[in-house]
Structure 1
């Protein structure tokens, strides 16, 4: 019987999902027998991540021995890239192309910036070696692989100087035979090295993007593979006998053994899971368009649900546009800024106040954590303004030091600026809000979408504190705070499906394309996906297959991805395909050219194995007025001045309750701030639906 379906009473019934962030490690567990959800949160233990996971599991009263499924998302891959703490890596590349990784696209995003710096490759030039071989663009062999020369090159590498090897051979997306053989030889000559070949990650053209992707995979590979191996051993030692899946950057699940090889596929695993959770909630509410906004302790991220589906991309720039390294794999379209609850506020040149991107993380953490932090952070500012309760943080399990936060704010910010402490704290939040609004604009306005027409779903431990302010900053009128926002990325993993993405470059004019050939390419990718699903340890309840194509107008350089129903290709409906492309081009760029010829660039297939989902959360019905016990106290909170503000317990609110701002709604791992003028209503699923006021009072 499939592992994820009902079975004997003795079978473990728990499904555990864990997301590791820069500050906290979050857990969401679904007890299939009792139909209950459990949550846990603990500080991330950097340097010993497995320990933090165990702390979270124990804090939630769960056990790995009681689980049949473990789902995991982590920032370890992206952090290794951004912090440049990866393995000593060598790059094997086709003869004559040693420098394509460094040359890149020769783009200069800011033409008048005298301080512009080019991207810095993860592999230095001395560690890039040429391989004597060459394929043609058709995949035919132009120059056979010289195996003897390759072995001489590998033997010339000083023992112990290389931990990982990346392989990029020209046109291997057409014919991977040479890369396959090179990988075999590397394994023989450099046993113990992590080896990654480009065709395993990307079947698309564009050699710079492909070499950047495989180099990144090799660079993070040893650290990620070691970590996942240690976690697997830890699970075994604690009686876990189920299936271990990792969340990909698409929000889909893939087996841990695949994750240990294709590490770059989990770069944005946690944020992508949050977008999947947002999609699930939007389905329940009948919403087609929503912004998924996640603010944790270190960063803030934004993604988009458009037309009921998460927006995805075939590539992303990691490390900021100016010096970024491209990663050419399917992923959820997410934009990230270095602003979170732990973001440090500092005075720069000319006493200019800066917030982030440096973060206090979990150690030492914000000053108020009492773990050795000395510089004020966004969390310290929220505490001083009365928006956090020093005696009720994380449900009272972690006391906050208000006096220490005040001293740090006075000494580091308010005193040097000649301001009151409360004004300084408010200034920090205003700067943070402006920075975070850039993330939302990047995935909406810059994608050709009208941000004002979207509902913004806000989660993460720090997100609901700033939701109203961010919405006001960019003109959003409706905000939704979902159930359990402080654990939401982990919660979203419980709604993820098995997912396999495939892509094949296929340059064909739409007007003359051979649909039989195209159908053959699609069918081949779909067969691969079905085989992967059938070989999974967890058998899904159903399978869906989605087709798309990268298309462009003839003469263009870059393409847009267009979702295309299967029947358009089966019927050879060129006009309908062209209309879909024109419409998507208009959304993406604000214009289209229906009279211009188009061409296909790449074909894409997504095969998903549908997992059984936990039931939707529901709350009892109540009247418009919250019950008396839901109002736990009143306190002074700063909103451009101190205002007497009611504080409610979220778990005691009922469907239909309405609250007018200003107000605070507290729960175990988060606090929602209603500003003056805002109006809140609780829906049947327990979501907080906020109509944003027009003016600050």
Structure 2
């Protein structure tokens, strides 16, 4: 078997995780938002150096059997409102009402960025017939107003197909003047016309930028002789080649990778209630894993709009290592604005002057200035001190060290409050829930955050710094299809979906007969997706809303692996040195430090202690005990809890 390579392209850093079957190596590179192709190449080059001892991008690609990739491009376009604007065609009379969605979309900044001009209307009869001349005049007006892409969102499929036929006849796709268009009912099946319209708009808004970048990345892989097509990881937890991926399904795919890893960990450690938390440079993403599954909402949100696709019940808030810290009414405020990787925190010495959590952790002695990102970057202690003193210390009348500690405490409290609220909203208690925390900023002050939330047990994965990339490696090549039941014969629907699935899997380059096919009933109850076997139709239909038939086609790929925990003896971990933590309650107190590469199964650490490594920093607070599992994960439990 060749190499398994997973890439998670985040807002601040791009991570890679590489497995050769016997070991796993990883690397990080700053995300180059202006050109995502560059950080794609950079992180693979760094990964090749970790694997081979020298940088060899071409060799890494040639040796790779499966390359899965999750990109932040779609998320960035939504957050920054930097996609390609679209024109919308609706039924006459709905130009202003938008099928009843005007009230929630009228003042929506994302909608205004996606659809800068009012939608145009055409007349549609009750049978779905349209007037070809009316359509032609409307389209010509849209083109004259600068429309680059068109969404067709009509009530009936028949009407939409009639429009499609006319567009293909009047504007053949082989002509340079052809306008790219999307038929909303071909993208999603949803009786809610407004939601279907919005879904199609988002997809078309993201499509050009995604297409340009992803095909560029695929070309790079092909030029370097990747054995199989580049696979794009989606927000439904599966992967597919670029040509078979819809743009909207890349939105939020990185956090979903962390969720897949958290599900695997819930099974590995037999945890019934898990809060999965990814603390990155820009945001903190969290989701509840109950009974080793992730709750899905039937109609998820993309940025500020509701769409027709199910998505994980994921919460995000603007707290991360690069979040900007400020003071308002003598209270420390963290985020939601972030400085990202460029210019980055003040300590990056790249021109940034804003104070951040990273600056505070450096000044308090938690971070080693010479080992950040495996030594790729040296942090500037003086710049961190200046920023914290100016932004926090002077307004509050305290010195820089006290400002750093106050910043950390504010981050712990804000994060802890969010964690506890999410757990209780799910019907569980923090004390009965295990925190699985990862991301570049996740482990650093995890025990402080857990204590603030009332959580007594947490797990830090051995690959916490690149855990979302690692989690992507549990995905398979798959496609899922949904059709509303609407009184039809479920078996007939399954037969039709099976034929469609086999065509798509053939298009993926895999034998359809080697795939697994599973059909189920799908519905929603209390805004959560529920599923059941087809044989349970009568009872299921009476208990849920929006009943559909689903079919999923799966071609299994080599996946990430975990080691079952069977440690039968424990002994103290070797101490590598000591560090002075400043700005703490015991200013100037020294704590033992531990080299993360020296930790082995069965090692234990009693807090306080500080684990330091190239990509892992973890402060173990007083009253917490850590043990290393067979999988080299860190399980930390509270010995006393105030």
Q: How many Å separate the matches in 1 of 2:413 and 2:128?
A: 55
Aligned to 1:138: none
Asked if residue 279 in structure 1 is aligned to residue 241 in structure 2, the reply is: no
Q: After the TM superposition, which residues 58-207 of structure 1 pair with which residues of structure 2 at under 5 Å, given as runs?
A: 58-61=45-48, 63-101=60-98, 104=101, 106=103, 121-122=111-112, 123-124=114-115, 126-134=117-125, 142-158=127-143, 161-172=146-157, 177-178=161-162, 180-181=164-165, 184=168, 188=173, 191=177, 193-207=179-193
Asked if residue 520 in structure 1 is aligned to residue 496 in structure 2, the reply is: no
Paired residue secondary structure (1:464):
coil
Asked if residue 293 in structure 1 is aligned to residue 293 in structure 2, the reply is: no
Contact kept in structure 2, 1:304 and 1:310, CA below 8 Å: yes
How far apart are 1:265 and its partner, in Å?
Answer: 0.7
How far apart are 1:526 and its partner, in Å?
Answer: 4.4
Paired residue secondary structure (1:374):
coil
How far apart are 1:664 and its partner, in Å?
Answer: 1.5
Q: After the TM superposition, which residues 64-463 of structure 1 pair with which residues of structure 2 at under 5 Å, given as runs?
A: 64-101=61-98, 104=101, 106=103, 121-122=111-112, 123-124=114-115, 126-134=117-125, 142-158=127-143, 161-172=146-157, 177-178=161-162, 180-181=164-165, 184=168, 188=173, 191=177, 193-259=179-245, 262-319=246-303, 324-348=304-328, 350-437=329-416, 440=419, 443-463=422-442
How far apart are 1:464 and its partner, in Å?
Answer: 0.7
Give per-residue Cα distances to partners, 1:135-156, cap 9 Å, x unaligned: 6xxxxxx241223322222222
Aligned to 1:39: 26
Contact kept in structure 2, 1:336 and 1:439, CA below 8 Å: no
Of the structure 1 ranges 13-22 and 308-317, higher mean CA displacement relative to structure 2 is found in 308-317
Of the structure 1 ranges 686-695 and 484-493, higher mean CA displacement relative to structure 2 is found in 686-695
The structure-2 alpha-carbon separation of the partners of 1:638 and 1:688, relative to structure 1 and needing over 3 Å to count, comes to farther
The structure-2 alpha-carbon separation of the partners of 1:359 and 1:155, relative to structure 1 and needing over 3 Å to count, comes to same
Paired residue secondary structure (1:275):
helix
The structure-2 alpha-carbon separation of the partners of 1:578 and 1:166, relative to structure 1 and needing over 3 Å to count, comes to closer
Paired residue secondary structure (2:571):
coil
Contact kept in structure 2, 1:507 and 1:599, CA below 8 Å: no
Of the structure 1 ranges 192-201 and 181-190, higher mean CA displacement relative to structure 2 is found in 181-190
Asked if residue 549 in structure 1 is aligned to residue 531 in structure 2, the reply is: no
Paired residue secondary structure (2:230):
strand
Q: How many Å separate the matches in 1 of 2:417 and 2:120?
A: 41
How far apart are 1:463 and its partner, in Å?
Answer: 0.6
Q: How many Å separate the matches in 2 of 1:413 and 1:427?
A: 9
Paired residue secondary structure (2:15):
strand
Q: How many Å separate the matches in 2 of 1:212 and 1:247?
A: 23
Work out the number of aligned pairs and report it: 627
The structure-2 alpha-carbon separation of the partners of 1:619 and 1:280, relative to structure 1 and needing over 3 Å to count, comes to closer
> Aligned to 1:659, which of 605, 608, 614?
605
Q: How many Å separate the matches in 1 of 2:566 and 2:527?
A: 49
Aligned to 2:576: 631
The structure-2 alpha-carbon separation of the partners of 1:124 and 1:611, relative to structure 1 and needing over 3 Å to count, comes to closer
Of the structure 1 ranges 414-423 and 271-280, higher mean CA displacement relative to structure 2 is found in 414-423
The structure-2 alpha-carbon separation of the partners of 1:608 and 1:292, relative to structure 1 and needing over 3 Å to count, comes to farther
Q: How many Å separate the matches in 1 of 2:164 and 2:597?
A: 56
Asked if residue 674 in structure 1 is aligned to residue 620 in structure 2, the reply is: yes
Paired residue secondary structure (1:463):
coil
Contact kept in structure 1, 2:594 and 2:610, CA below 8 Å: yes
Paired residue secondary structure (2:214):
helix
How far apart are 1:551 and its partner, in Å?
Answer: 4.6
> Aligned to 1:641, which of 537, 561, 586?
586
How far apart are 1:653 and its partner, in Å?
Answer: 1.2
Contact kept in structure 1, 2:521 and 2:547, CA below 8 Å: no
Q: After the TM superposition, which residues 47-66 of structure 1 pair with which residues of structure 2 at under 5 Å, given as runs?
A: 47-61=34-48, 63-66=60-63
How far apart are 1:69 and its partner, in Å?
Answer: 2.2
Say what the alpha-carbon RMSD is for the aligned residues. Answer: 3.0
Aligned to 1:21: 10
Contact kept in structure 2, 1:134 and 1:145, CA below 8 Å: yes
Q: How many Å separate the matches in 1 of 2:110 and 2:579?
A: 53
Structure 1 length as normaliser, TM-score?
0.83
How far apart are 1:213 and its partner, in Å?
Answer: 1.0
Aligned to 2:52: none
Give per-residue Cα distances to partners, 1:482-531, cap 9 Å, x unaligned: 121111111111111123222223356xxxxx7xx233334433443344
Contact kept in structure 1, 2:87 and 2:142, CA below 8 Å: no
Give per-residue Cα distances to partners, 1:81-130, cap 9 Å, x unaligned: 1211111311112222223449527469xxxxxxx965652444634111
Give per-residue Cα distances to partners, 1:16-75, cap 9 Å, x unaligned: 21111111110012224xx33221111111211111111111111152232232211111
Q: How many Å separate the matches in 2 of 1:476 and 1:530?
A: 47
How far apart are 1:160 and its partner, in Å?
Answer: 8.2
Q: How many Å separate the matches in 2 of 1:533 and 1:384?
A: 53
How far apart are 1:451 and its partner, in Å?
Answer: 4.2
Structure 2 alignment gaps of length 5 or more: 49-56
The structure-2 alpha-carbon separation of the partners of 1:448 and 1:695, relative to structure 1 and needing over 3 Å to count, comes to closer
Contact kept in structure 1, 2:129 and 2:159, CA below 8 Å: no
Of the structure 1 ranges 687-696 and 453-462, higher mean CA displacement relative to structure 2 is found in 687-696
Paired residue secondary structure (1:298):
coil
Paired residue secondary structure (2:37):
helix
The structure-2 alpha-carbon separation of the partners of 1:466 and 1:519, relative to structure 1 and needing over 3 Å to count, comes to farther
How far apart are 1:678 and its partner, in Å?
Answer: 1.0
Q: How many Å separate the matches in 1 of 2:476 and 2:527?
A: 28
How far apart are 1:416 and its partner, in Å?
Answer: 1.9
Structure 2 length as normaliser, TM-score?
0.90
Contact kept in structure 1, 2:515 and 2:553, CA below 8 Å: no
Contact kept in structure 2, 1:100 and 1:208, CA below 8 Å: no
Give per-residue Cα distances to partners, 1:301-353, cap 9 Å, x unaligned: 0122222222222222233xxxx2112212222111111111011234x4543
Q: How many Å separate the matches in 1 of 2:91 and 2:221?
A: 42
How far apart are 1:279 and its partner, in Å?
Answer: 1.5
> Aligned to 2:465, which of 486, 498, 502?
486
How far apart are 1:538 and its partner, in Å?
Answer: 4.9
How far apart are 1:246 and its partner, in Å?
Answer: 0.7
Paired residue secondary structure (1:121):
helix
Structure 1 alignment gaps of length 5 or more: 1-5, 7-12, 109-115, 136-141, 509-513, 553-557, 582-597
